Amino acid sequence: MLSQSNPTVLDESFIINQLTEYFSKIRIVDGSIDKDALLKELKEYYHKKFSQPEYSHAEYEFIDLFCGAGGLSVGLEQEGFRPIIATDKDRSAILTYRFNRPWLTDENIIHEDIRKLVHQDIFPHVPLIVGGPTCQGFSVVNKHKKENDERNELYKFYVHSVDQSKPDIFLMENVEGILRLYDEIEEDFHAIGYITCTPLVLNAKDFGFPQSRKRAFILGINNRYSEIAGDLYRVFSQTINAHLNEYHFTLGDAILDLPAITAKTAKNATYTESRQWGYTFGGFIDAQSRYARLVNRGLPERLPLLNHRSKFNNDRDIQIFSLLRPGEKSDAESIQEINPYKNRADIFRDKFDKLLADEPCKAITAHMYYDCNMYIHPTQARGLSPREAARVQGFPDDYLFLGSPNEWYRQIGNAVSPLMARVLADGLKQVLERINRA
């Protein structure tokens, strides 16, 4: 069984090594940034941040399965929870997860397919297990679904992990399509001694967050608390519902305070950066908008500008981005002469989609790994940057994504919204407090 991490011991060498390695790759073509000075300032920033007392305190510990880049963990941490173990098979996501949690070690952040872990005695008892089994097999945007997609069975390994740890409660997150298997899921958890409550299907925009993103959440309660299970579910659902319409943020609220950049026009230049195209490390900004203060709760106003850089686009696509008006898609009359998909409008109506600043954004997804044509900035002729996508999701501005620039998009799109995770964490905390009073 793994030893639990000590949040008072920070592995700053990991942060320094990752920053140094990444800075060595970057080429600033216009000389607009002093890399040495900025690297020093970032090291000082993260040293100061993670030396704060709050990083050694937690009301409850938890395990995050299928953790990805850590969106669910962010929201829980902001509400007083602390992860002691996290698992995922995506190497770049694991690097991101660990960089932003230097109190965890390689032993406690496990880069492995969960199917290879369930027969090892590694998961200690904790009050809470959370996680979202890989969901593409259930996704409504998956055009090539398979009835027996092996990804549909990954939740069973979540079940095995819960059986090993025996937490008081668990929370499983997934796309709404997983509920087609709910009867089977309910039986599997019942067999290991857990009551599963009626799933909650929640949309981030209903809470006033700046995207339309619907997900299903299944709360499980250990049979030890069967006599109060109904009360626990009411506490959970009522706490969450109390946050409905708490805010009223739009896409513009989330991103328009970030520096303007243009689409990258240099081919095969992954680590080439400039003031025009944006930067992996863009110095520091004052994040003072109301939305920025929400996602950066507890952080200083002056924060590093990270992962805010554009993807490469050819001249034709940049022209299309310029011609489209906010709200227009591939069938817009203004682009038909140059639209490469005009003869397949029935299939590719959304291939180009210019977003509206005064409405919530469409759901941020991992498809941005391939291109951002479906996420065209409302006022600039380019796709959303990874930082803008992260803003929409609700990640703090100083949350650094590692791996390749395309992998940043995948990590952000696969993550649970930290803002939604914060709402869920409030409900989970109320449930655990009620259990402790029993």
Q: Known catalytic residues?
A: 135
DSSP state of 329: B
**How far is the C-alpha of 135 from the C-alpha of 309, rounded, in Å?**
28
Q: What is the three-class DSSP state of 111? A: strand
N-terminal to C-terminal alpha carbon distance within the chain: 29
**How far is the C-alpha of 65 from the C-alpha of 63, rounded, in Å?**
6
Other CB atoms within a 10 A radius of the CB of residue 322 amount to 15
Helix axes of 418-437 and 71-78: crossing angle, nearest 10 degrees: 50
Give yes or no for a contact between 83 and 69, defined as CB atoms under 8 angstroms apart. no
**Burial of 146: CB neighbours in 10 Å, binned 0-12, 13-18, 19+:** exposed
Question: Within its chain, how far is the Cα of 245 from the centroid?
Answer: 21
Rg (CA), the chain: 22
Question: Within its chain, how far is the Cα of 252 from the centroid?
Answer: 19
C-alpha separations of 369 from 259, 274, 307 in Å: 22, 21, 14
Give yes or no for a contact between 216 and 179, defined as CB atoms under 8 angstroms apart. yes
CA 434-436-438 angle, to 5 degrees, is 70
Exposure string of 30-67, with b = 16+ CB inside 10 Å and e = fewer, is: eeebeeeebbeebeebbeebbeeeebeebebbbbbbbb
Detail the DSSP E strand segments found in 237-310: 272-273, 278-286, 302-309
